[in-house]
Amino acid sequence: MPFGDILGQEHAIELLCHAVQRDRMPHAWLFTGQANIGKFKTAVALAQKLNCSKIGEDACGKCDFCLQIKEENFPDFLVLRPEGKFIKIDQVRNSLNWLNLHPDQAKKRVLILDGAENLGREAANAFLKTLEEPAPNTIIILIALSTKQLPETIVSRCQQIRFRPLSPEITEYILRRNTDLSEELVQLISSYGMGSVKGNLANSFEIMQTVQNTAIKWLTTFKSETLEDLLRTCEVWGKSKNEEWRFLLDFLETWFRDLTWIRFGLPENKLLNRDYTLNVDRVRELKQCGKYFTLHQIFEIFRKIKESRAAIDLNANKSLAIESLCLHIYRNAT
Ligand SMILES: [Zn+2]
């Protein structure tokens, strides 16, 4: 997929094209930003641009080199991904040996580390030396959600590009182009994605809707009797293999983001939770819920949602984490 096919990341692509044109390519890039916004596709497009057999502003996407890179079977192109939870030391050693070989056919040999935050400490250390003294004609692209989980020694040796969340128009366009989802589903998934394309959510439509409807019923009334119901539901959701707890966190994040949006008087057509069916009025429900909170409380809850997610990532009990979050929201509702 050449640069021309990547949507919503003009800023990143401009920086990369600029570096290619001026032949000022750093030997290591670090692409950061949330999942599913085009970081990996951009890395592939860069490898194609550097090696395409046709000369042009962008890779052609059709020559043998471009196609082999896309299929990940080009001899001078390698993608490293976590095996299990981590990118292992052996994977790194093998890839570094490979990187030191002279390119077979390519102008530039390209190594991508997709999920660089999953480099173990030993694996990261093994990498450092190569980042300091790279072999000529090699480019390393590290892809990570943020720099937070990466050693500073790695970050400082790479040129970082921050990828931006996609606008709702672009995520919806991509979903419409790449799937045959109904319009209702396109809008729902776009709102859950919070600036990313999560097309795989389509299979979970009914679960997402149940979670959303249950939460909205509660968020627009805050009755104590429904609180008990909700806490019981949280207990079940935290244990379910359908991962309702994840949908709840995703949804609450979009909801409280929209509450700040409304509070600042920003345009309603940019809300993530919009009216995607004829018989619901999401904006009215958002405004109804917004009456319960000050702006400060909304920010506080937003922070708490992120905190709950981080705690679960560190193996906290899922039921307890979402119960405690709902209680926090309830106590703040006045
Ligand atoms: Zn090509």
Residue 43 CA to residue 38 CA, distance in Å, equals 9
Question: What pLDDT does 133 receive?
Answer: 85
Number of domains observed in the structure of the chain: 2
58: CA distance to ligand 1 center in Å?
Answer: 9
Residue pLDDT, tens place only, 27-84: 999 999 988 999 999 999 999 999 999 988 899 999 999 999 999 999 999 999 998 8
Q: How confident is the model at residue 104 (pLDDT cuts 50, 70, 90)?
A: confident
Distance (Å) from CA 42 to ligand 1 centroid: 15
Residues 172 and 157 in one domain: no
Cα(197) to centroid of ligand 1, in Å?
26
User: Does 174 lie in the same domain as 144?
Assistant: no
Domain with residue 12: its CATH number is 3.40.50.300
Average pLDDT of the residues in 256-270: 89
How much is the pLDDT for 304? 96
Do 241 and 301 reside in the same domain of the chain? yes
Buried b (16+ CB within 10 A) or exposed e, 282-297: bbebbeebbebbeeeb
Q: What is the mean pLDDT of residues 262-284?
A: 80
Q: What is the Å distance from ligand 1's center to 174 Cα? A: 23
Quote the ligand 1 centre to 48 CA distance (angstroms): 6
Average pLDDT, the chain: 89
CA of 69 to the centre of ligand 1 (A): 9
Which one is predicted more confidently, 276 or 86? 86
Which of 139, 162, 185 represents a domain boundary (last residue)? 162
One domain for residues 194 and 156: no
Ligand 1 centroid–CA 52 distance in Å is: 4
* Per-residue pLDDT, 296: 94
Q: Do 3 and 148 contact (CB within 8 A), yes or no?
A: no
123-133: average pLDDT: 88
Percentage of residues in the chain with pLDDT exceeding 70? 98
pLDDT of residue 277: 64
pLDDT (0 to 100) of residue 205? 80
Three-state SS for the chain is: CCHHHCCCCHHHHHHHHHHHHCCCCCCEEEEECCCCCCHHHHHHHHHHHHHCCCCCCCCCCCCHHHHHHHCCCCCCEEEECCECCEECHHHHHHHHHHHHCCCCCCCCEEEEEECHHHECHHHHHHHHHHHHCCCCCEEEEEEECCCCCCCHHHHCCCEEEECCCCCHHHHHHHHHHHCCCCHHHHHHHHHHHCCCCCHHHHHHHHHHHHHHHHHHHHHCCCCHHHHHHHHHHHHHHHHCCCCHHHHHHHHHHHHHHHHHHHHCCCCHHHCCCCCCCCCCCHHHHHHHHHCCCCHHHHHHHHHHHHHHHHHHHCCCCHHHHHHHHHHHHHHHCC
Distance 255 CA to ligand 1 centre (A): 43
Task: For 151-183, write each residue's pLDDT tens digit.
Answer: 999 999 999 999 999 988 899 999 898 888 888
Rounded distance from Cα 13 to ligand 1 centre (Å): 17
Let me know whether 78 and 193 are in one domain: no
Cα 55 to middle of ligand 1, angstroms? 8
pLDDT of residue 279: 62
Please give the distance, rounded to the nearest whole angstrom, from the Cα atom of residue 98 to the centre of ligand 1. 23
Domain containing residue 28: 3-162
Please state, in angstroms and rounded to a whole number, the distance separating the CA atoms of residues 48 and 44: 6
**Residue 32: what pLDDT?**
96
pLDDT at 320 over 90: yes
- Return the pLDDT at 278: 58
CA of 140 to the centre of ligand 1 (A): 20
Q: Mean pLDDT throughout 208-229? A: 86
**pTM of the model as a whole:** 0.78
